A and B are shown apart, each in its own frame.
Chain A
Amino acid sequence: MQNKIDIKNYYLTQFDEFEKSLNGEKSSDFHKVREEAIGKFAELTFPTQKDEEWKYTNISPILKHNFSPLSFKGNVSSEIISKFLFDEMEHSLLVFVNGVYDRLFSKLIDIPEGVEIGSLAEAISANHPVIEKHFGKYAGTEKNYFTSLSTAFTSDGAIVYVPDSKIVDEPVHIIFYTTTANEKILTQPRNLFVAGKNSKVSIIEHYVSDEENIYFTNTVTEFVVGENAIVDHIKLQEESVKAFHIARMEVAQQRSSNFSSHLISHGAAISRNDFNAEFKDESSECMLNGLFMINGEQLFDAHTMIDHAKTHCSSHEHYKGILQDKSKGVFNGKVMVRQDAQKTNAFQQNNTILLSDDAVMNTKPQLEIFADDVKCSHGATIGKLNDEAKFYLKSRGIGEESATAILLHAFASDVITSIKIPALRNYLEEIITKRFNQ
C-alpha cells in the first residue's frame, strides 16, 4: 500500500514528464495556470476521513495504485458507442476516449452560428477568449487536492460556448469513454460550458466504460449561466464497477437564469460528486436532482452546495438513492442563505431505500440561513419499500421480484420524469429495469 507522500511525489514526477510532452506550449500563458496548480497541489494532502468533507467517505483504496496521468491512447468503435446512445436521438455528439477528443466519432448537428462545441485542448491552443475569461475562475485550486491535480494536468475536455441569444435546440451529448487494457490510468477531462444571455442549451455529460477495469477519473466542470439563460444539464455516471470517479461541478448563475442538473449514477466502485452552485444575481432558479443506484460494495457520495447570495432566488434539490447489498451512500446538502438574500426559497429532500440490512446511508442536510424573510425546508428519509404496497401488488398476482422492481421504478420516477429529454428518460428506465428485474 502506497503512502500519501509517495503518491504525491509520483504525481509531481509525472508532472515533469507531462511538461516535456507539451513542447512549445510550455511557454504559453495558459501553462502558467498549470504551474500554479501543481504548486498548490504540492502543499495539499490526500483527503482522509479526518477531514470534515470526507468524514463518511473512505477513498484510501485510490492510494493502492499509481494511476498514470499521462495520456494513454485508446480505441473506440461505433459498436461500443451505440451502447451508450439514446434510441434514435438526433443530437450533437462529442466523444472523448481516455480524456482525449476523438474527432472521428464526434458529430455536430444543427449548430446555430457562433455556437462552439468541441475540444478544450483546441480552444486552449487557439487562445480562445473564453478560456482566459472563465477557465479556473469557478473551480479554484485553493485547498482542493483533486482540482489542483486536474488543473495541473489540464489537457483536454469539452467546451461548449453559446453566445448571447443563441438557442441550441437538440441536446449536446458528450461521451467520456475509458478503455485501459488493464493499465492503471488517470483521466482528467476538464469541461467548460458557457451559456450567454438569453441562450438555451442542454448538455449531457456521460461517463462510460464497457470494461470492468480499475482506473481513476478526476473530472472538473465549470458552468457559466448567463442572464436569462435556460440550461439543462444531465450527468450520467456508468463507469466500470471497479473505477474511481471523483467529480466537481461549479455553476455560476447570472440574473434571472434557470439551471437544472440531474445526476444519475450507478457505476464506479467509488463515486464522489461535488456540485456547487452560486447565485451571483437575483431572481434565478436552480434545480439539482439525483438518483444513485448502488450494490455490492459500491460507495456513492454527493456533496452539494447552493449559495443563495442574492435575493429572490429559488433552489430545489432532490436526491434519491437505492442501496443494495453492502453499499454505502453519503449525501451532504449545504444551503447557504446570506444575509441580504431575502425572499429565498430553498427546498431540499433526500430519500433513500435500503434493500438490505448491510447497506448504509449517511445523510446530512446543512442549512445556514442568515436572512429572515425566506422559505427553507429540508427533509430526509431512509427506509425500506412499503410493505403494504408490496402486499397489494402480490395480492394481484405479482411476484416478489416484479413487485420490488415496480416499486423501485415508482420510487425513482419523480427524478426521472423531471428530465426533459424523452429518449433519455427511456434509456434510464431501461437501466432501472435491468438492474432490478434479475
Chain B
Amino acid sequence: MLLEIKNLHASINGTEILKGINLSVNSGEVHAIMGPNGSGKSTLASVLAGREDYEVTSGEVLYNGKNLLELSPEDRAREGVFLAFQYPVEIPGVSNTNLLKTAVNEIRKYKGEEELDSMDFLLLLKEKSKLVELDQKFLSRAVNEGFSGGEKKRNEIFQMAVLNPMLAILDETDSGLDIDALRIVANGVNKLKTKDNATIVVTHYQRLLDYIIPDFVHVLYKGKIVKSGTKELAFELEEKGYDWVKSDNAESVV
C-alpha cells in the first residue's frame, strides 16, 4: 500500500478541522476527494505535504511503510510526495529553471544518485514542457511571476512532470481554470499516470473528473470521509449537490 491514513486528526489555531480521516491508496490508483467548502479538503492536502500551520493531534500516516508525519516537507518531497498548490506562490528573482534544477538535484542527491549537468537537465525540461504545452520562454521567467491562473496551474503540473513523484496530491487544481486550460492540465496528469504512482485529486467540482477519471471517489464533510464509491459517486454528487451529503450526515455532526 502506497499511502495509509489512519484516524487522522488535525487542527489549526486550536480549531479541529480533520476529525478522523481514514484512507488507503495503492500504486496505480487515482482517488478523488470531494466536498463542500470548509470540509477540510485543502487541510488534508496541506497536512500530507507538511505545512507547519497545521497540528496533527492524533492518528498516523504511513507512506511506503514510513511514518510520513515525522518527515520534514523537503524529505517528503524527496521521498516522492508532490503537492500541486491551490494558490501557487510567485517568487520574483528565482527562475523556473533554477527552481527545478535545484530541486531535481537535491532529490537525486538524497537518493544517492548523480546530479544532472546543465545540458542533460535542459533536455529533461524541454521534453517535459511539451507535456503541458508550456512555452520554452516560461522557463527563464521567475516562478509564477505574472502568470495567469491557468499558467500557474500548468506550471504545477509541469513541475510534477519534471520531479516525477510517486504520490501526487492535486489541491483544487481545477479552480479558476477555463475549459481549455482544464483540458491541458488533465491531459498532463493523465500522461504522467503509471502503475507505480498514485494521484489524489482534491476538487470541489465534478467537472475535472470528466477528464481525470478516478478509481475511487471520497466525499469529505466536516473533517471526515462520509461516503466512498467509484466514479459514479461523482455524478450522483453533481446531480444531487452537496446538500444531499449534508442532510444524510446531519446526525453525525459531533
A binds B: yes
Across-interface contacts of B74 in A (CB, < 8 A) = 394-395, 397-400, 403
Across-interface contacts of B72 in A (CB, < 8 A) = 394
Across-interface contacts of A389 in B (CB, < 8 A) = 89, 91
Contact B99 A396, beta carbon cutoff 8 Å: yes
Contact A398 B106, beta carbon cutoff 8 Å: yes
Question: With A and B bound together, what is the CA distance between A392 and B99 in angstroms?
Answer: 10
Question: With A and B bound together, what is the CA distance between A409 and B142 in angstroms?
Answer: 13
Known: A391-B51, A395-B73, A397-B78. A402 touches B106 (CB 8 A): yes
Contact of A396 among B110, B142, B159 (CB under 8 A): B159
Across-interface contacts of A406 in B (CB, < 8 A) = 94, 98-99, 102
Question: With A and B bound together, what is the CA distance between A392 and B88 in angstroms?
Answer: 8
Question: With A and B bound together, what is the CA distance between A402 and B99 in angstroms?
Answer: 10
A411 lies within 8 A of chain B by Cβ? yes
Contact B94 A410, beta carbon cutoff 8 Å: yes
Contact A391 B73, beta carbon cutoff 8 Å: yes
Chain A 135-187 interface residues, beta-carbon cutoff 8 Å to B: none
A358 lies within 8 A of chain B by Cβ? no
Q: Which of A398, A409, A414 has the most CB of B within 10 A?
A: A398
Contact of A392 among B89, B98, B110 (CB under 8 A): B89
Q: How far is the CB of A398 from chain B (nearest CB, A)?
A: 5
Contact A407 B94, beta carbon cutoff 8 Å: yes
A393 lies within 8 A of chain B by Cβ? yes
B163 lies within 8 A of chain A by Cβ? yes
Contact A411 B163, beta carbon cutoff 8 Å: no
Contact B89 A388, beta carbon cutoff 8 Å: yes
Question: With A and B bound together, what is the CA distance between A400 and B92 in angstroms?
Answer: 19
Across-interface contacts of A396 in B (CB, < 8 A) = 77, 99-100, 103, 159, 163
Interface magnitude class on chain B: 20 to 34
Contact of B77 among A386, A395, A413, A414 (CB under 8 A): A395
Chain A 402-425 interface residues, beta-carbon cutoff 8 Å to B: 402-403, 406-407, 409-411, 413-414
Across-interface contacts of B142 in A (CB, < 8 A) = 410
B40 lies within 8 A of chain A by Cβ? no
| Inter-chain contact total with CB atoms closer than 8 Å | 72
B85 lies within 8 A of chain A by Cβ? yes
Q: Which of B88, B98, B143 has the most CB of A within 10 A?
A: B143
Across-interface contacts of A410 in B (CB, < 8 A) = 91-94, 142
Question: With A and B bound together, what is the CA distance between A414 and B92 in angstroms?
Answer: 9
Contact B93 A402, beta carbon cutoff 8 Å: no
Known: A394-B77, A396-B99, A398-B102. A414 touches B93 (CB 8 A): yes
Q: Which of A397, A398, A402, A407 has the most CB of B within 10 A?
A: A397
B8 lies within 8 A of chain A by Cβ? no
Q: How far is the CB of B8 from chain A (nearest CB, A)?
A: 19
Residue of A nearest to B49 (CB): A395
Residue of B nearest to A402 (CB): B102
Contact A411 B93, beta carbon cutoff 8 Å: yes
Chain B 69-85 interface residues, beta-carbon cutoff 8 Å to A: 72-74, 76-78, 82-83, 85
Q: Which of B73, B100, B110 has the most CB of A within 10 A?
A: B73
Across-interface contacts of A402 in B (CB, < 8 A) = 102, 106
Across-interface contacts of A395 in B (CB, < 8 A) = 49-50, 73-74, 76-77, 82-83, 85
B107 lies within 8 A of chain A by Cβ? yes
Contact A392 B91, beta carbon cutoff 8 Å: yes
Contact A398 B103, beta carbon cutoff 8 Å: yes
Q: How far is the CB of A292 from chain B (nearest CB, A)?
A: 17
Question: With A and B bound together, what is the CA distance between A409 and B90 in angstroms?
Answer: 15
Q: How far is the CB of A321 from chain B (nearest CB, A)?
A: 16
- Chain B 35-79 interface mask (CB, 8 Å, partner A; 1/0): 000000000000001111000000000000000000011101110
Q: List 7 A-B contacts (CB under 8 A).
A: A389-B89, A392-B91, A396-B159, A397-B74, A397-B77, A398-B77, A406-B102
Given contacts A394-B73, A396-B77, A397-B77, 14 further A-B contacts (CB under 8 A): A386-B89, A389-B89, A391-B73, A392-B143, A395-B50, A395-B83, A395-B85, A396-B159, A398-B99, A398-B103, A407-B91, A407-B94, A410-B92, A414-B93
